[in-house]
Chains A and B, each alone.
Chain A
Amino acid sequence: DTGVSQNPRHKITKRGQNVTFRCDPISEHNRLYWYRQTLGQGPEFLTYFQNEAQLEKSRLLSDRFSAERPKGSFSTLEIQRTEQGDSAMYLCASSPSLGRQAFFGQGTRLTVV
């Protein structure tokens, strides 16, 4: 399977714990996006990488959130001191440099208890 891969698929954590999610984009795609989706809503943009550079962050991304994309390959999204309001589906998408179509991964569903 050469699509966008996200791990883990599900994560249950206690409030206050740190969590990290991983996204492996399609190999030749240099654009990578993180979105957050809550039940019944459309995905909301969180952050964007072009290769290893993080070029845009949404105001939704509080200082408890950090994302990296070392060497322009896979990306990680870390949430520190999780809160119940962080419970959501975290989606990763990638697209090629000259394309506009975004390919989404299956997402990581986070539940904070």
Chain B
Amino acid sequence: QQPVQSPQAVILREGEDAVINCSSSKALYSVHWYRQKHGEAPVFLMILLKGGEQKGHEKISASFNEKKQQSSLYLTASQLSYSGTYFCGKEGGGATNKLIFGTGTLLAVQP
């Protein structure tokens, strides 16, 4: 039931773009995206609640295809500060809003 992310890891030079994908084998009703730097707490980036929704946060944006049970995170003109591990999360159902996190994508941005 854990969403699968691809790629597992990506190395970029500053200014390059990247796409991180998140796929679920079961229905995906909403997607949360987090970034976690080493030794730090996961930091919320955005949540997508509807199929077809797209959102942006600085130069980071995301799309959500409910039909395909997929979401993608787009990082444009990457900066050193974008380095970290990115997790998507799906809500586990019920009233708790607990998150089931994806497998993670390690992003390293080099000067």
Contacts and interface: CB of A to CB of B under 8 A. Distances in A.
Interface of A: 4, 31, 33, 40-45, 48, 50, 55-56, 91, 95, 100-107
A56 B87 contact: no
A41 B42 contact: no
B98 A44 contact: no
B97 interface: yes
A42 B87 contact: yes
Contact of B47 (A44, A91, A100, A103): A100
Given A100-B30, A102-B44, A104-B41, A42 B98 contact: no
Contacts of A48: 96, 98
B103 interface: yes
Contacts, number: 58
B111 interface: no
Kindly list the 5 A-B residue pairs having the minimum CB-CB distance in the complex, ordered from nearest.
A42-B101, A104-B41, A48-B96, A45-B98, A42-B87
A45 B47 CA distance: 18
A56 B42 contact: no
Contacts of B91: 100
28 contacts: A31-B97, A33-B96, A40-B104, A41-B103, A41-B104, A42-B2, A43-B99, A44-B101, A45-B92, A45-B100, A48-B96, A55-B95, A55-B96, A56-B96, A91-B41, A91-B42, A100-B30, A100-B47, A100-B49, A101-B44, A101-B47, A102-B32, A102-B97, A102-B99, A104-B34, A104-B41, A104-B42, A106-B41
